[in-house]
Amino acid sequence: MTTSNVLIAILIGYALGSIQTAYFMGRLVKQIDIREHGSGNAGASNVVVVLGWKYGFITGVLDIIKAVIAVLIVKTLYPGNPTLPYLAGISAILGHLYPFYLGFRGGKGVACLIGMFFGLNFWWGLLLLGSTILLVLLTDYVVGGSLSLFAAFPIITLRLGQPPSIIVLSVILTAIIFYKHRSNVRRIINKEELTISEVRRRGKS
């Protein structure tokens, strides 16, 4: 695994991950910057709150797909090397979190993490998607599924036999995600965070 291969995997992942679906959806549907509305997050959950379930669903699917594509491209370029596609997936998440052309203000990476695992192995992706949906429904908060998924990420990375550098990177990424969700946790403590039930009722009214 050469330095050039690593850089190519990182660039492919970051470039695809930085395609900010929620931002473009806000511009397309209502000519707004989605980051200035709702929770201020450029992700599918905030699109649901601001624009509705239909646009939120489309945003989430597209965010999953861009990470899938990043991983599959690198898998095709470097067959037999499980580390480079994994690195491309992590880079796609980072691109989603910190898109360079939007002042490095993006989303929170949950859909991209699920998409990363769909690209690595369809059944892994399906398991993570199902687990996330279940946790969201059980807690009634999107953040419940998000933080649980990322808390498990370093453990999954370790169990898959990734090298120490990738394990450390997964720990750093998880720490970043928890930091980015600090406002959500604060709103939950203050009983100010929107629940899934409340969003569903709004959608029906």
Number of domains in the chain: 1
Count CB-CB contacts under 10 A for residue 123.
10
- The domain of 23 spans 3-204
Nearest to 97 by CA among 83, 82, 107, 89: 107
Taking a C-beta distance cutoff of 8 angstroms, is the pair 51, 30 a contact? yes
What is the distance between the alpha carbons of residues 142 and 110, in angstroms, rounded to a whole number? 10
Average pLDDT value over all residues in the chain: 90
Q: What is the DSSP letter of 99?
A: -
Asked whether the beta carbons of 82 and 60 are under 8 A apart, the reply is no
Q: Indicate whether 147 pLDDT > 90.
A: no
Alpha carbon distance 80, 156 (integer Å): 20
Judge contact between 174 and 165, C-beta under 8 A.
no
State the Cα angle at 29 between 26 and 31, rounded to 5°: 60
- The predicted-structure confidence for 13-71, as pLDDT tens digits, reads as follows 999 999 999 999 999 999 999 999 987 888 888 898 899 889 999 999 999 999 999 99
DSSP conformational letter for 34: G
pLDDT digits (tens, 9 = 90+) for 161-189: 999 999 999 999 999 999 988 877 887 78
